[in-house]
């Protein structure tokens, strides 16, 4: 009888110890996440920069090949993802706009994108970030055109020095995902921290991407 009581006592002690260790691990995880959040808050505001042909085509979004429908409203695909990021981070939105009027027809747009790449063009930017110094984290969104960023993104990275800042890419694609664009951003911004775990989504899934965006951001500590 005493042996059974001893075994029961030992098992109870082991259970208590296990619970204490588990609770301690949870507390450490919470502390780590809170510390990450506080660090992000102290490192400056958040900017969500994005390029979408829908806002550079000179036509209503409904006429553009680069839009999706969210809640019955037509919106550029990259703008849609940028809005989802803003909902979770309270960042400031910034639309990368150019002097180029991009074709609204999908086929013509892809052909034009190929011409820009062949020429290594640098489209003139008509929108500009005010007071970049206030931002510590820059989300940068773009479509994948011919396995690369649109040339407007090269203009964007040429214009700004993101040294000491954190760049978090997000992307809409038609099958090629990021391709090698994250490595390209690293090469263009050598003194910035470029997060490799960017968010990428197929253009046909953008409208339903809200939960995936929130889960991705949570994994990054937002």
Report the pLDDT value the prediction gives residue 183, as an integer from 0 to 100.
98
pTM of the model: 0.79
Same domain, 129 and 184: yes
Quote the CA–CA distance of 140 and 4 in Å, as a whole number.
64
Structure confidence at residue 75 as a pLDDT band (50, 70, 90) = confident
* Residue 120, CA distances (Å) to 60, 71, 113, 173 in order: 28, 38, 10, 21
Report the pLDDT value the prediction gives residue 76, as an integer from 0 to 100.
87
Same domain, 11 and 101: no
Query: For residue 30, what are the domain limits?
Result: 1-42
Same domain, 70 and 167: yes
The answer on pLDDT for 69 being more than 80 is no
CATH number of 168's domain: 3.40.50.360
Same domain, 59 and 166: yes
Same domain, 14 and 83: no
Structure confidence at residue 220 as a pLDDT band (50, 70, 90) = very high
Quote the CA–CA distance of 160 and 129 in Å, as a whole number.
9
Quote the CA–CA distance of 107 and 130 in Å, as a whole number.
35
Same domain, 10 and 51: no
The answer on pLDDT for 14 being more than 90 is no
The answer on pLDDT for 26 being more than 60 is no
Same domain, 65 and 173: yes
Name 179's Cβ contacts closer than 8 Å, sequence gap at least 6: 144, 147, 148
Same domain, 23 and 80: no
Quote the CA–CA distance of 65 and 108 in Å, as a whole number.
10
Report the pLDDT value the prediction gives residue 119, as an integer from 0 to 100.
98
**Domain count for the chain:** 2
Helix 151-159 / helix 181-188 crossing angle, nearest 10 deg = 30
Host H or E run for residue 136: strand 135-143
Same domain, 76 and 182: yes
Which contacts (CB < 8 Å, 24+ apart) does range 34-40 have?
A: 36/221, 37/221, 37/222, 40/136, 40/137, 40/221, 40/222
Average pLDDT over residues 50-72: 73
Structure confidence at residue 54 as a pLDDT band (50, 70, 90) = confident
Two tokens, residue 69 = 């429908």
Location of structure tokens 């099958």: 175
Mean pLDDT over the full length of the chain? 85
Same domain, 153 and 205: yes
Same domain, 33 and 61: no
With beta carbons less than 8 A apart as the criterion, state whether 102 and 57 touch: yes
The answer on pLDDT for 16 being more than 70 is no
Residues, the chain, total?
222
Same domain, 108 and 24: no
């Amino acid at each position: 009888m005493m042996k059974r009581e001893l075994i029961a006592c030992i098992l109870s002690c082991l259970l208590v110890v296990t619970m204490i260790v588990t609770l301690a691990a949870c507390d450490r995880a919470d502390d780590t996440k809170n510390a990450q959040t506080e660090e992000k808050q102290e490192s400056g505001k958040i900017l969500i920069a994005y390029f979408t042909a829908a806002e550079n085509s000179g036509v209503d979004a409904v006429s553009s090949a680069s839009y999706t429908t969210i809640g019955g409203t037509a919106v550029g695909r990259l703008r849609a993802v940028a809005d989802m990021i803003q909902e979770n981070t309270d960042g400031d939105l910034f639309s990368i706009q150019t002097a180029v009027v991009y074709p609204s027809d999908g086929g013509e747009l892809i052909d034009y994108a190929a011409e820009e790449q062949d020429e290594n063009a640098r489209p003139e930017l008509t929108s500009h970030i005010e007071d970049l110094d206030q931002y510590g984290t820059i989300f940068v969104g773009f479509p994948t055109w011919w396995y690369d960023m649109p040339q407007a993104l090269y203009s964007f990275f040429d214009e700004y020095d993101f040294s000491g800042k954190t760049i978090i890419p997000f992307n809409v694609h038609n099958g090629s995902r990021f391709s090698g664009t994250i490595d390209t951003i690293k090469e263009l911004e050598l003194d910035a921290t470029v997060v490799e775990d960017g968010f990428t989504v197929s253009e046909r899934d953008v409208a339903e991407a809200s939960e995936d965006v929130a889960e991705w951001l949570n994994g990054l500590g937002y």
